Amino acid sequence: MPEPITEPPSGRRLAPGADHEAAAAQIAAASERVRAALDAAADRAQGDAADVLHATAAIAADPTLVADAVQRVMTDHLVPERAVWEAAESVAEQFAALGGLFAERTRDIADVRDRLVADLTGRAAPGVPDQDEPFVLVAPDLAPALVATLDTARVLAIATSQGGPTAHTAILARARGIPAVVAARGLETAVTAGDVVIVDGGAGTVVVHPDDEQVEAARALAAQARTFDGDGRTADGHRVELLANVGDPADAEAAAAAHAQGVGLFRTEFQFLDRDEPPTIDEQVTAYRRVFAAFAGRKVVIRTLDAGADKPMPFLTSDDEANPALGVRGLRTAALHADVLEDQLTAIARAADAESAVVWVMAPMVSTVDEAEDFVARCARHGLGTAGVMVEVPSAALVADRILAHAAFASIGTNDLTQYTMAADRLLGSVAHLSDAWHPAVLRLVAETCRGGAAQGRPVGVCGEAAAVPALAVVLVGLGVTSLSMTPRALADVAAVLGATTSDECARLAQRALAAPTAADARELVRAALPVLAELGL
């Protein structure tokens, strides 16, 4: 990724005696080059992406923007890049004042501004590089929104020097089937554009300047194709539900096509993000019905809104919390905004009544027995009889038996459970080495949650990223987990490893992992005892 464009120095002017007209002409030429590049990119894209690029190209050619910038060169003698910056800021302010759709275009104006400045200063255009052949994308970090829009035919893998393995950038990459390695310190200084690298998302490694033998071995592994038959079980027939995590209706259709046995985590944030107010009940019903329809007759576990922390929402959360990960997030937002939760439960109930899916509902960020009891009662008032909780906080794991006296099930979110157990922000690259669900402390909390579930006769699933790691899935089943929910792309690998391992072996390896002193030791002990991993290239 090119370096981001920074603001040219304020007031920077042309040298005395400079040709002002020639400097001003550079702006029009840059505008035409940027417009042409954006239109060309749009012609190669499809659907919404093409429409967005064409619209952005129109802004680049906007005569008002160009004329304003030219005037600043001629009148104020600003250098072209500073003139463009100020002109774009002026246009953005006008759009923001108009509100509505115009206000939403201010981001596009900033994008065009940066492209024009890059062109005028001889730098690479911001954003994902436009290359003729597929490539590995290397960057300090990548925003989740950018990862969500990457062209998977062009971006073969991503590797970043910052971030953490359970940050949403990594989760989105996994969900989209893009091999990703994060927190690879020193990577950017070790490679340059055009180098050959091998990115192994499963192993978490980046091989720089591999030899021909390594390249061929990697290609052979990548060419292996496995499928899931829709029946999760161990080698001795012990049933384990293998479910899918989905983030929107399109994900649900892909999960059904991958033969997921149901949905273990339906994230509902997709309807609430980037809005100034919540979606209406009718909007929610329409979206939820699409997911429920894709899994007619099968289980769908829908999570109520998980706002806060790295998913701020202006109508629910404050932007001035000192530590938002420990603040008002998940179910805690209902204390001040009960109407948002009530409307969502109404929408879920209506959608469930209209479809034949077996709908379970769970709340995120449950910390106490009281919270669980209140949520179950709220669901009951809406006719939602199977209400559960997410176990993401150590307190919930430690009193799981008492929580599950009220809740019908528990689903462990290993990403946040690891974050809170290890006191390591999942978004912070400098502590990424601590964000490891293999850590025995995290596994003990999983075991305690399963013990609480067994005591109450309640199922306990895992819907965090740990469920998608085949070797770790074996340990989780051995600890007593009854279902695993993951990106659909991981179903076949997890099913293959479980299918080659007996339930007794799962239990034995779980105990070895619990007894290990470190996360690395636990991982190595288990992997060494599972030769099927090497056979499958995992």
Q: Which of 259, 382, 439, 463 is catalytic?
A: 463
Q: Is the dihedral of CA 45, 48, 54, 60 positive or negative?
A: negative
Report how far residue 270's alpha carbon sits from residue 291's, in angstroms, rounded to the nearest whole number.
13
- Strand 262-267 and strand 299-303: pairing? parallel
Verify whether residue 463 is a known catalytic residue.
yes
Evaluate whether 396 touches 347 at the Cβ level (below 8 Å). Answer: no
Give the C-alpha distances (Å, rounded to integers) separating 96 from 60, 105, 106, 108, 274.
18, 8, 7, 12, 16
Look at residues 60, 58, 62, 80 and name the one whose alpha carbon lies nearest to residue 71. 80
Using CA atoms in the order 285, 290, 295, 301, what is the torsion angle rounded to 10 degrees?
Answer: -40
- Residue whose tokens read 């034949």: 356
Cα maximum dimension of the chain: 86
Report how far residue 293's alpha carbon sits from residue 308's, in angstroms, rounded to the nearest whole number.
29
Look at residues 393, 414, 372 and name the one whose alpha carbon lies nearest to residue 326. 393
Within a 10 A sphere around the Cβ of 230, how many other Cβ atoms?
Answer: 13
Q: Which of 54, 168, 209, 259 is catalytic?
A: 168
Verify whether residue 379 is a known catalytic residue.
no
Look at residues 194, 39, 191, 48 and name the one whose alpha carbon lies nearest to residue 115. 39
Give the C-alpha distances (Å, rounded to integers) separating 421 from 394, 424, 444.
6, 8, 11
| Chain Cα centroid distance, residue 463 | 14
Active site residues: 168, 463
